[in-house]
């Protein structure tokens, strides 16, 4: 079935780096725009980054631009989020989401927890 599975979360010290992965199955990953979204403790959903199907276009939220990098490997059906120079406010659950297309809904992963702490 259509599925997204995130991995790579954990505890990381401030100013260090972490790479999240999102593995897709059950659909033609290479044809879809993909997003990263997070939820900080006690907060709402926050969009972080978007990447086009061929990786030619990438856009970021102001809160992560210059520190986070989104990428994908269509041969591996995998989306990535490279998180550099992390801060305490980056703590939260990180979700990948398949963007919608006409008559095709948004699909979400189960999320991976990131805790930034010394």
Partner 1 sequence: NFVLTQPHSVSGSLGKAVTITCTRNGGSIAYNHVQWYQLRPGGSPTTLIYQDSLRPLGVPDRFSGSVGRSSNSASLTITGLKAEDEGNYYCQSYDGTNHGWVFGGGTELTVL
Pick from 14, 16, 28, 4: nearest CA to 94: 4
Q: Which is nearer to partner 1, 97 or 116 (CB)?
A: 97
Choices 15-23, 71-79, 80-88, 108-116 (CB under 8 A): range interacting with partner 1: 108-116
Q: Where in 47-76 is the site for partner 1 (CB under 8 A)?
A: 47, 49-50, 57, 59-61
Q: Which is nearer to partner 1, 64 or 86 (CB)?
A: 64
Q: Which of 41, 44, 117, 118 binds partner 1 (CB under 8 A)?
A: 44
Backbone angles phi, psi at 37, to 5 degrees: -135, 145
Cβ count within 10 A of residue 95: 21
Q: Which of 20, 35, 78, 79 binds partner 1 (CB under 8 A)?
A: 35
């Amino acid at each position: 079935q259509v599925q997204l599975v995130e991995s790579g979360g954990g505890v990381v010290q401030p100013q260090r780096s972490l790479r999240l992965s999102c593995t897709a199955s059950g659909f033609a990953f290479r044809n879809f725009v993909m997003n990263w979204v997070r939820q900080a403790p006690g907060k709402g959903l926050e969009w972080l980054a978007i990447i086009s199907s061929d990786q030619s276009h990438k856009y970021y939220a102001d809160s992560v631009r210059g520190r986070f990098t989104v990428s994908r490997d269509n041969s591996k059906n995998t989306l990535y989020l490279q998180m550099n120079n992390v801060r305490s406010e980056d703590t939260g659950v990180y979700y990948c989401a398949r963007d919608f297309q006409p008559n095709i809904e948004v699909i979400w992963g189960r999320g991976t927890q990131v805790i930034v702490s010394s």
